[in-house]
Amino acid sequence: MKSFTHRIIKAIKSFRPDRTSKQQCSSCGEWYTLSQLDRDGVCWECQRFGA
> What band does 29 get if pLDDT is binned at 50, 70 and 90?
very high
Task: Please tell me the pTM assigned to this model.
Answer: 0.52
> What band does 30 get if pLDDT is binned at 50, 70 and 90?
very high
- Letter string b/e over residues 2-12, b meaning 16 or more CB atoms within 10 A of that residue's CB: eeeeeeeeeee
Phi, psi of 15 (to 5 degrees): -90, -20
Contact at 8 Å (CB) between 28 and 43? yes
Mean predicted confidence (pLDDT) in 16-40: 85
Q: Give me the pLDDT at residue 18, please.
A: 57
For 48, residues 6+ apart whose C-beta sits below 8 A from its C-beta are: none
Domain boundaries, the chain: 19-51
